[in-house]
């Protein structure tokens, strides 16, 4: 069986030093409706939002990145500290390693107290013996408010010794979710970079969907490079873009009273504003945060992180991101993310 420690390290190094993004998230197709007379004061824009019953200062979540090895512990410590400082959400990487080896629990260390902490387990692992009790124990160890079950069939196809039995998984997710929700835990189902469609998730008994569309990190690239599988190149364009995924899932918001996280290729505040116009409740990113952790003051990627420089970089990135989002809201005459919903046109593509 592949060593989790080395696998997690390889994922981080490939994300930092290789081109692992491919295709488009679809944001170029969305034009926000400009108002020359916004009729609002820029300073009255308020980005506070409620997400899964928790109040966030800004509608952003740091998406799942890592855990399960020493370097991952340092990453989680820095990111959770920044999440606490900015009042945004934080999701740990897959907790499967700590379920299999409890000594790795320290690599999911949460610093300070982010307003919402989200645990994370591969949904397919429910078909390989992970139980409701183990899920609950994993999220209790990090004092999480919610758990995300991630869907990653493309990654499993190219990951050496990947778990490919997704049979009857929807039923298994619903069974486990029912027990977790009855104990007060919020449940999220998320993709990891190839998007979601309505039919796949319409019957899930959950609280939130994270679309994680294509256009950002591509796991066919990462696992193809790790496993030297040339067939991975055929799947670089595979998946449903973030914009298309949002449009697919939006009908479920009112029908099922679900909250929606938009993620996949979001790189700036304007991308985020377009997601909110498309009815997202919150936006998530992973790769931009990871690269800021390992960058020096000039943006060059380092082999080893410097904790203080990493935090400075993250503060600068988030401040810029928030300013861009505020400007987009202002230019559409929106005082908050609810008011920008629906304020867009689809651009005709040649």
pLDDT tens-digit profile of 240-280? 999 999 999 999 998 999 999 999 999 999 999 999 999 99
Per-residue pLDDT tens for 135-173?
999 999 999 999 999 999 999 999 989 999 999 999 999
Query: Which range is most confident: 229-238, 314-323, 341-350?
Result: 314-323
Q: How far apart are CA 261 and CA 189, in angstroms?
A: 10
Residue 79 is inside which H or E element, if any? helix 70-86
Q: How far apart are CA 258 and CA 169, in angstroms?
A: 20
- The whole-chain average pLDDT of the chain stands at 95
Question: Which pLDDT band, with edges at 50, 70 and 90, does 350 fall under?
Answer: very low
- Which residues does 139 contact at the CB level (< 8 Å), separation at least 6? 95, 119, 146, 147, 185
Q: Is 27 helix (H, G, I), strand (E, B) or coil?
A: helix
Per-residue pLDDT tens for 291-309?
999 999 888 998 889 999 9
The residue ranges of every structural domain in the chain are: 4-346
Q: How far apart are CA 293 and CA 16, in angstroms?
A: 10
Per-residue pLDDT tens for 26-38?
999 999 999 999 9
Please give the distance of CA 285 from its chain centroid, rounded to a whole number.
5
Please tell me the CATH code under which domain 4-346 is placed. Answer: 3.20.20.70
Q: Is 19 helix (H, G, I), strand (E, B) or coil?
A: coil
Cα-based distances in Å from 67 to 77, 81, 122, 140: 10, 15, 13, 16
With pLDDT > 70 as the criterion, what percentage of the chain qualifies? 99
Q: Can you read off the two tokens belonging to residue 87?
A: 């009042």
> What pLDDT shows up at residue 229?
86
Please give the distance of CA 199 from its chain centroid, rounded to a whole number.
21
């Amino acid at each position: 069986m592949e060593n989790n420690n080395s696998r997690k390290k390889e994922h981080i190094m490939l994300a930092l030093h290789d081109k692992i993004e491919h295709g488009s998230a679809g944001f170029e197709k969305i034009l926000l409706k400009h108002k020359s007379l916004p009729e609002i004061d820029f300073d009255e824009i308020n980005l506070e939002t409620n997400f899964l019953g928790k109040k966030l200062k800004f509608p952003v979540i740091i998406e799942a990145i890592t855990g399960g090895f020493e370097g991952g512990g340092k990453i989680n410590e820095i990111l959770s500290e920044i999440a606490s400082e900015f009042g945004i959400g934080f999701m740990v990487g897959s907790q499967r390693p700590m379920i299999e080896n409890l000594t790795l629990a320290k690599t999911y260390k949460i610093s300070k107290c982010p307003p919402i902490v989200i645990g994370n387990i591969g949904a397919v692992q429910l078909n390989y013996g992970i139980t409701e009790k183990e899920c609950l124990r994993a999220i209790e160890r990090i004092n999480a408010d919610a758990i995300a079950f991630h869907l990653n069939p493309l990654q499993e196809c190219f990951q050496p010794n990947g778990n490919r039995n997704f049979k009857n998984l929807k039923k298994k997710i619903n069974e486990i979710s029912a027990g977790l929700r009855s104990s007060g835990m919020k449940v999220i189902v998320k993709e990891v970079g190839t998007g979601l469609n309505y039919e796949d998730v319409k019957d899930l008994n959950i609280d939130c969907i994270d679309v994680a569309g294509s256009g950002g990190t591509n796991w066919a690239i990462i696992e193809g490079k790790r496993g030297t599988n040339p067939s991975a190149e055929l799947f670089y364009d595979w998946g449903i873009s973030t914009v298309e995924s949002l449009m697919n899932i939006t009908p479920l918001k009112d029908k099922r009273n679900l909250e929606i996280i938009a993620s996949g290729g979001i790189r700036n505040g304007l991308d985020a504003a377009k997601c909110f116009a498309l009815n997202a409740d919150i936006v998530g990113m992973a790769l931009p945060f990871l690269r800021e952790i390992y960058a020096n003051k000039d943006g060059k990627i380092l082999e080893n992180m410097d904790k203080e420089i990493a935090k400075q970089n993250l503060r600068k990135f988030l401040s810029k991101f928030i300013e861009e989002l505020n400007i987009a809201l202002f230019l559409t005459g929106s005082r908050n993310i609810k008011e920008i919903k629906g304020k867009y046109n689809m651009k005709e593509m040649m």
